Chains A and B, each alone.
Chain A
Amino acid sequence: MAALGAAYFYACALLAVGGAVSVVVAKNPIRCAMGLLLLILSVAGLFLALHAQFLAAIQLIVYAGAIVVLFLFVIMLLGPAASTPNDRRGLAVRIFGGGLFGLAGLASITLVAEAARAMHRVLPMPIPDPSFGGIEAFGSVLFSDTLVPFEVSSGLLMVAVVGAIAVARGRQGSHTLSPAEQEISRRAPSIDPMRELHPSAVFSHELPEGEAKRHAS
């Protein structure tokens, strides 16, 4: 049983680290998103091992179901522009900064792990109740002790949705477009709204002459 738990932990940890590394090194943003998905799934598995069943479900629903799909939507919307193949400028400086951060982080992890090993199990591992981490206990905590933060977070999500719509829509209908926006709006194909609305023109204009006749007969 203990060996099984250890194997589960190491499998999830290996998948999580692999997903995180592929987020960082993959050239194609879709591969980055898939690495993020792998990381999220394995972290949900680790939540299950830590008796956080409700949080594991939330992780799957919110991260894998909403956030990764949102990333994929934006990557598909941007198309080829989403990947930046000529990512060479300032590469040495960036790798120096990132490497410095990585070395400092790894050194501090090693120091903390050595200190923890020298102190012989500083962290206790108490037995949790059967209800610990389940939806009932979690909901009771959420609606008794943390009711105010919960309501505030719903307000935060509301404001974020309104802000995201306002930022992503741009300044439509405004007469103070920037030069870049004017160029973009000139490039976009013009759409005649009346033609779209007229019922006889909805499908017939898309068909060639012979096709339309064949459909009519």
Chain B
Amino acid sequence: MIPVEYYVSLSALLFVIGGVGFLVRRNVLVALMSIEVMLNAANLALVAFNRSHLARGVGQTYAGQSHTGQVLAFFIIAAEAAEVAVGLAIVLALYRLRRTVRSDEADLLRN
């Protein structure tokens, strides 16, 4: 059985890779994908911690073991779908205005 620490370390590593990608890349599409990588890492950590803490929580209606981390990961997935839809719409609007997908050329609000 793999200890939960391994999953959490892997999640932290994936988060760091995604953060570096978000900081280094200038392509807006790739920056959005790096955010996806970071959110996936967060979901992995949540599910791993839920595997480690199964005790029924205080005030929990459901009679079985606690699913708190998994439910939180589920809501993160839902929020992320919304984020990607709006983000890609903004990318398309940026492309229509400036004919580019580079984030450093999106300077309409400068000055």
Contacts and interface: CB of A to CB of B under 8 A. Distances in A.
Q: Does B associate with A?
A: yes
Interface stretch (A61-69, A195-203, A204-212): A61-69
Interface string A48-65: 011110110011001100
Interface in A41-94: 43, 46-47, 49-52, 54-55, 58-59, 62-63, 66-67, 70-71, 74-75, 77-78, 81-84, 87, 89-90, 94
Contacts of B70: 52, 54-55, 133, 138
Nearest to A165: B89
Chain B at the A interface: SS class: helix
Category for how many chain B residues contact A: 35 or more
Nearest to A77: B92
B30 A94 contact: no
Contact of B54 (A66, A132, A163): A132
Contact of B47 (A47, A67, A122, A149): A47
B90 to A, nearest CB: 6
A188 B50 CA distance: 54
A23 B37 contact: yes
Given A125-B52, A168-B89, A157 B82 contact: yes
B29 A71 contact: yes
Nearest to B59: A145
B1 interface: yes
Contact of B14 (A39, A83, A140): A39
Interface in B35-54: 36-37, 40, 43-44, 47-54
Given A121-B3, A133-B67, A145-B60, A84 B93 contact: no
A141 B72 CA distance: 11
Given A49-B2, A70-B84, A168 B29 contact: no
Nearest to B29: A29
Contact of A128 (B54, B71, B78): B54
Contacts of A71: 29, 32-33, 84, 88
Contacts of B40: 39-40, 43, 63
Contact of A105 (B15, B47, B90, B93): B15
A113 B78 CA distance: 31
B23 A101 contact: yes
A88 B69 CA distance: 41
A109 B16 contact: yes
Contacts of A39: 14, 37, 40
Interface of B: 1-7, 9-10, 12-21, 23-27, 29-30, 32-34, 36-37, 40, 43-44, 47-55, 60-62, 64-65, 67, 70-71, 73-75, 77-86, 88-93, 95-102, 104
